[in-house]
Amino acid sequence: MNLDEARERFIQSWGALGSNWGINRTMAQIHALLLVSPEALSAEEVMEGLDISRGNANMNLRALIDWGLARKVHKSGERKEFFIAEKDIWRVAMQVIIERRKREIAPVLQMLSEVKSVGGSSDDPQVQAFIQSVDDLDTIVGQADSFLELLVKADQNWFANTLLKLFTKEKLNN
């Protein structure tokens, strides 16, 4: 496999992954293209590299910047703006994804606490069963929420060192 083929394959795959995680395909592809480009690229170059329209390139570059996954750089003597990917993608990408997930969970926790009020102290077994299910969900969704919250605060080194080592130890002990 030569460099161009490898880049192409990488960009395609990364795009597919992104689209499964709530990042649109083109946005993820632009991100991939910037990641594997040693130099900052102009909007023009992104358009050509991925064969997309000016509007599309512009919109998704802006979205990437919004998300903190890319930024504009200025090349002296150049009039155009250039773009590079944030290389520390753990910090940024994970942050973004985790925060998104948290935002999605919040309304569910709200809903769960609301529906628990159903029927008050009814002893209808249907109601009992429903409340039981909802309680279980509430527990686990709550745990997921706390966990995500902690991940948001964790940084890459903390994750790599503390967490992974801990897991290894735990696993060996059991």
Partner DNA sequence: TAAAACTTTCAATTAGTTCTGAAATATTCA
Partner DNA sequence: TGAATATTTCAGAACTAATTGAAAGTTTTA
CA proximity to 31, closest of 55, 11, 51, 8: 11
- Dihedral pair phi/psi, residue 83, rounded to 5°: -130, 140
Per-residue contact flags (x/-) with DNA for residues 101 to 120, judged by CB under 7 A: --------------------
Q: Name residues contacting its own copies, limited to 9-28 (CB under 8 A).
A: 9-10, 13-14, 16-17, 20-22
Q: Which stretch binds its own copies (CB under 8 A): 1-9, 45-53, 64-72, 75-83?
A: 1-9
What is the C-alpha separation between 64 and 69, in angstroms, rounded? 5
Residue 74 bridge partners (DSSP): 81
Question: Closest CB to DNA among 97 and 134?
Answer: 97
Structure tokens, 147: 């966990």
Closest by alpha carbon to 159, among 83, 70, 98, 82?
Answer: 98
Q: Is residue 75 a contact residue for DNA (CB under 7 A)?
A: no
39 touching DNA, by CB under 7 A: no
Residue 42 in the binding site for its own copies (CB under 8 A): no
> Which chain residues interact with DNA by CB under 7 A?
19, 24-27, 42-44, 51-56, 58-62, 78-81
